[in-house]
A and B are shown apart, each in its own frame.
Chain A
Amino acid sequence: MTMATATTTDPMLPQPYSVRQVVKETADTFTLTLEPSNGAGGNRFQPGQFSMLWVFGVGELPISISGDPAERNRLAYTVRSVGQATHALVSREVGGAVGVRGPFGTGWPVEKAEGRDVLVVAGGIGLAPLRPVIYEVLHHREKYGRLVVLYGARSPRELLYRKELAAWARQHETQVLSTVDYGGLSWRGQVGVVTTLFKYARLQPERSLAFACGPEIMMRFVARDLETRGLARENIYLSMERNMKCALGFCGHCQYGPHFICKDGPIFRYDQMRPLLEKYEL
């Protein structure tokens, strides 16, 4: 019997990466920057795609890429430590090994957004898969209209990328607004759910494309409100999440109605998702 030899293009075979940097974003959320261990060029990705990250001896996790698509040899992932595998991942030290498969899935349709206003609506750690879109728009500012970033988090302590949010807000034709559900006494920003920011967004709905990511129920509220404000369903995109295992559409773990989130998504148009979002227990 001969054993099949995996090649470097085998999507099931993790590539060896090492941790270059770990940044603590909040009490339980970290951004890891990885580089290929073998010195080869890293995998290019589209904003919105995800990788499968192997923590050797612990398990494999689907994590959205949160870094800059223009940085060819680095991949960044923002991870919330909520279980054994994510805890092991964020505990990697600089130089530690991580296996990377991917990138997988569909990306945010940034080409379709060219010439339009871009609305980014993020909730909680949902800003991570949207950060590459923001980089992309800011790197190619001339291609896009206004960029509006609306970001909601549970509390001020849980806001991600605070320095970057402030830096983005200073960019040309860019509006960045944050809100929290629970503000402390020292917080002087907005308090309220992310949809309460829509009334401050300076954009033209009929020429806008919206990208939303966050808890599913948040995206339902967001999409419904955006539609009320004049955005067409086909111009609203959502990033969906289910339990992904193979990331290739073979195992069926991430099946969502007729879709495999890993292969057909994770980015979907709202008009495709709307009937499913309203189904109980799906």
Chain B
Amino acid sequence: METLERIIADHPFFAGLESYYTNLLTGCASNVRFEKGTYIFREGEEANEFYLIRAGKVAVEIFAPQRKPIMLATVAEGEVLGWSWLLPPYQWRFHAHAIETVRAIALDGKCLRTKCEQNHDLGYEILKRFAQIMEQRLEATRFQLLDVYAVGK
């Protein structure tokens, strides 16, 4: 049977992380499952965790008044969902909607923040990995804003 530590170590988000750190992370981790159609979190709720997606697909959505939800992006197997746990005010900025049944590892944000404060090397490792995800998603969003396939572009 796969251990939580093995699953964390094998997830692309933590690729190459030393076993000492994966062991520390495991203490904050749990296996979770979200049925298709459920919301993993909603905008404004307290952000106390993030998710390593193992299977399934999540739509990151935003609600606008008098409009149906707008799907901003999808996050799927091998990716990480959520970084609002990392920065104050620790509140979700968007909705996360399981559009397929999702299996994931949830990492407790409060637990992890405490460990990062105690062990800055771990904190730096985590921050570097999240910074890379933020950079990739920022670039993808800028590219998306260009609306390159529109007629006349």
Contacts and interface: CB of A to CB of B under 8 A. Distances in A.
A71 B8 CA distance: 51
A181 B144 contact: yes
Contact of B147 (A181, A184, A188, A190): A181
B62 to A, nearest CB: 12
Interface in B104-153: 139-140, 143-144, 146-153
A123 interface: yes
Interface in B52-87: 57, 59, 68-69, 71-74, 76-79
Interface of A: 28, 80, 82, 123-124, 152-154, 158, 179, 181-185, 187-193, 195-196, 199-200, 214-215, 217-218, 221
Given A185-B68, A191-B73, A191-B74, A196 B149 contact: no
B76 A190 contact: yes
A154 B74 CA distance: 15
Given A181-B149, A214-B148, A199 B78 contact: yes
Given A154-B149, A200-B76, 13 more contacts: A185-B69, A185-B71, A187-B71, A188-B100, A189-B74, A191-B72, A192-B144, A193-B144, A196-B140, A200-B78, A214-B149, A215-B149, A217-B146
Nearest to B145: A181
Contacts of A123: 148-149
A81 to B, nearest CB: 10
Given A188-B99, A200-B78, A195 B149 contact: no
Task: Give the contact-size bracket for chain B.
Answer: 20 to 34
Interface of B: 12, 57, 59, 68-69, 71-74, 76-79, 99-100, 139-140, 143-144, 146-153
Contact of B143 (A182, A185, A193, A200): A193
15 contacts: A152-B149, A154-B150, A181-B144, A183-B74, A185-B71, A187-B71, A188-B57, A188-B100, A189-B74, A190-B74, A191-B59, A191-B74, A199-B78, A200-B78, A215-B149
